[in-house]
Chain A
Amino acid sequence: MDRGDNGLTVRKIRSGTVIDHIPAGRALKVLRILGVEPEQGYTIAVLMNVESRKIGRKDIVKISGLEPKVEDFHKISLVAPTATINIVRDYEVVRKEKVKPPEKVEGILKCINPTCITRQPREVATPTFRLVSRNPLVYQCIYCGSLLEEKEILEQLA
């Protein structure tokens, strides 16, 4: 995976995370949702629009020195449902996991319905969604029933 289709080589990382099989064009969204920025001191490599046997074209993100938490796995699955996360320690992949959109999402997404109870500023109802479909990705607000599709999820998390 270190070799892009233009022959560009990115060095292996000593420890950190390699997020592979990101749908092409969404690498920056993945970084944004993780809240990772170069100012924080991480070394970040982003490969975009690389050929992939599995998904045609893909993006890859390498972040040196960061190990994602469980909720990060969930967040990544919402913008990159095909992604694989590799945790690297001392140049070895110690954990490899395909992300899975969670059955329930609490607090990350916002309901699209302005008259949903979760949209009322004075109420403290946490927006909560249940997974309706993985492909295409569709979630449903447990409060008002509104459906949230992949396009809307991406817009919110961009």
Chain B
Amino acid sequence: MTWKGRSIVSILDFKRSELEELFREARIMEEQLSKGKVEKILSDRIVAMAFFEPSTRTRLSFETAAKRLGASVIGFTGEEAISVAKGENLADTIRMLSSYADLIVLRHRYEGAALYASKVSSVPVINGGDGRQHHPTQAMLDLYTVARELGRIDGLVYGVLGDLRYGRAAASFILGLTRFNPRKVYLISPPNLGLRREVRMIVEEQGLPVEEASLEEVVGELDVLYVTRVQKERFPDPEEYERVKGAYRITPSILEGAKESMIIMHPLPRVDEIDHRVDSTRHARYFKQAAYGIPVRMAILKLVLAG
């Protein structure tokens, strides 16, 4: 399947070769950005941002990416979405937007919203996060970060720490790793926040070498430590949230046993799972990771809209 005209719902819809094609494009975008000479290949295009849930990074990085390539951006976010919809259902909002814009980036609180929108839309829909389920473009930029910072994705030892149950970024990153050949993926989560059954099923089907562990046990083996926040807004029970928040926290002392080359990633925003003193260590890559969001999303927009 080619990228052009395609909706992006789940990272699982992509083969390794397609992700590698994306990474090559992202590298070109990075070079153009660093030279300050970005080709405005989308100057006649309109990108719609339909953010039914609040978002800063995903929305702003898509918007920045679109504008860098010369596209115009329309859309709404968070509270505004409620007034835009005026009681209208998602399908009608998407039909309307697809008659205005050439592409829709959608964030929605319900799982499956992006797939549903892609079925009713006449233009490609990019999933900017649907409930606790998928966040494919985050996984794409996360994999790109690993490739850029460590030179490869295969053969490395990963630790994915945090809320693997409700966190869509962590789950999408793990699903993205099934397209490559990591040496090991350690799943490090508080009790009750392990991978959901359906994600575990795919991980097992794909033969990803996962193992549950505690950070203290495995920190010395890791090449990549991927940290996520506990998703307060997705907890059905606020008391359960209170019990697990702060169950883990990365501090300089925990990192003493880590490899020098180990990188720490985080999809951001962080709450208090990474101590601010970690920011100045050689391990911290989360701000660089966020910066890679621009060339990767530029590459996504280019491939989907222009091929």
Contact = CB atoms under 8 A, between A and B. Distances in A.
Most chain B CB atoms below 10 A, which of A118, A120, A140: A120
B216 interface: no
Nearest to A149: B197
A3 B196 CA distance: 48
A144 B111 CA distance: 5
A144 B168 CA distance: 12
Interface string A121-136: 0111100000010000
A118 B113 CA distance: 9
Given A123-B91, A124-B89, A147 B198 contact: yes
16 contacts: A115-B109, A116-B111, A117-B90, A117-B111, A117-B116, A118-B116, A120-B110, A122-B89, A123-B90, A123-B91, A123-B116, A125-B112, A145-B198, A145-B199, A147-B197, A147-B198
Given A122-B89, A143-B116, A115 B111 contact: yes
B289 interface: no
* 8 A-B pairs closest in CB distance: A143-B112, A144-B111, A117-B112, A145-B198, A144-B112, A122-B89, A125-B116, A117-B110
B131 interface: yes
Contacts of A118: 112, 116
A55 to B, nearest CB: 27
Nearest to A133: B201
B131 A115 contact: yes
B201 A141 contact: no
A86 B116 CA distance: 39
B115 interface: yes
Contacts, number: 57
A143 B134 CA distance: 11
B133 interface: yes
Given A113-B111, A115-B111, A116-B110, A146 B116 contact: no
Interface residues of B, number: 20
B157 to A, nearest CB: 27
B201 A116 contact: no
Contacts of B112: 116-118, 125, 141-144
B30 to A, nearest CB: 33
A144 B131 contact: yes
A19 B101 CA distance: 54
Given A115-B132, A117-B115, A125-B116, 5 more contacts: A117-B108, A117-B111, A123-B89, A132-B201, A142-B115
A132 B108 CA distance: 26
Nearest to A122: B89
Interface string A103-123: 000000000010111101011
Interface in B250-267: none
Interface in B186-236: 196-199, 201
A132 B197 CA distance: 13
B233 to A, nearest CB: 11
A125 B114 CA distance: 11
Contacts of B90: 117, 120, 123
A132 B202 CA distance: 11
Contacts of B109: 115
Contacts of B133: 144-145
B232 to A, nearest CB: 15
B254 to A, nearest CB: 33
Nearest to B199: A145
Contacts of A141: 112
- Looking at A118, A122, A141, A144, which has the most chain B CB atoms within 10 Å of its CB? A144
